[in-house]
């Protein structure tokens, strides 16, 4: 298999591989540019095209979904990595990543100074600074097609209607993703999995931190 022809190409390829292994989805052009210390996304695009020509990565359309694949090396135990991406950086926007959230039992949200590239159409009229992303842990929302490992897009809001899927902060320490229903002086946080039971919590102990707007999912 060919090798990168320049140091910059090697830096881009190494960064994409490390990013995929760590997060399960591809970095945006902005993230690659930041890693390289350059301002121009056109520069990143040039290196990506060079890696495609060298057959070190591929970008293709499968059933209407574009994928970038890091090609396997000569070692048989190393498999190709493929995840959905959009081919044009202007169709992406950056939202902050705020850690993991349970779709099972509540766990503490782990804050981190990172961003995630999201398709702009998912945000609609929502400004990126009014949204954030969380990685789903657990399977209690699986009947709503929210699965372990998914990246959830959350609109930052403090109010919700009954039946909406919310990020609920419990006792100011733990957060969970559930459907919210008001039951008098209590809040019911309902899972979407018959193997899990609903949480009934005094309303004063629950604070809404956001509304679920959509998700992205790795293909591997």
Nearest to 68 by CA among 15, 131, 104, 120: 15
What phi and psi values does residue 90 have, to the nearest 5 degrees? -70, -10
Listed in sequence order, the residues at least 6 apart from 181 whose beta carbon sits closer than 8 Å to its beta carbon are 162, 163, 187, 188, 190
Contact between 82 and 68 (Cβ < 8 Å): yes
As a whole number of angstroms, the distance between CA 106 and CA 140 comes to: 11
Contact between 219 and 85 (Cβ < 8 Å): no
What is the SS3 string spanning 3-24? Answer: CCCCHHHHHHHHHHHHHHHHHC
Which residue reads 């954030």 in tokens? 132
H or E element: which one contains 61?
strand 57-62
Residues known to be catalytic: 140, 178
The residues with which 59 forms a beta bridge, in sequence order, are 68
């Amino acid at each position: 298999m060919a090798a990168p022809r320049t140091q910059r190409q090697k830096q881009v390829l190494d960064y994409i591989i490390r990013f995929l292994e760590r997060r399960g989805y591809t970095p945006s052009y902005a993230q690659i540019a930041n890693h390289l210390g350059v301002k121009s996304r056109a520069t990143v695009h040039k290196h990506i095209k060079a890696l495609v020509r060298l057959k070190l990565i591929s970008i293709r359309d499968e059933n209407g979904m574009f994928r970038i694949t890091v090609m396997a090396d000569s070692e048989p135990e190393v498999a190709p990595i493929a995840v959905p991406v959009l081919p044009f950086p202007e169709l992406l926007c950056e939202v902050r990543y705020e850690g993991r959230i349970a779709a099972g039992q509540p766990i503490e949200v782990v804050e981190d100074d990172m961003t995630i590239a999201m398709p702009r159409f998912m945000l609609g009229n929502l400004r990126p600074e009014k949204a954030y992303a969380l990685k789903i842990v657990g399977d209690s929302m699986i009947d709503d097609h929210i699965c372990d490992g998914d990246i959830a897009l959350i609109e930052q809001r403090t109010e919700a209607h009954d039946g909406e899927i919310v990020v609920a902060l419990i006792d100011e320490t733990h957060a969970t993703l559930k459907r919210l229903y008001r039951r008098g002086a209590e809040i019911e946080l309902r899972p979407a999995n018959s193997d899990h039971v609903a949480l009934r919590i005094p309303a004063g102990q629950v604070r809404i931190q956001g509304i679920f707007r959509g998700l992205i999912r790795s293909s591997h």
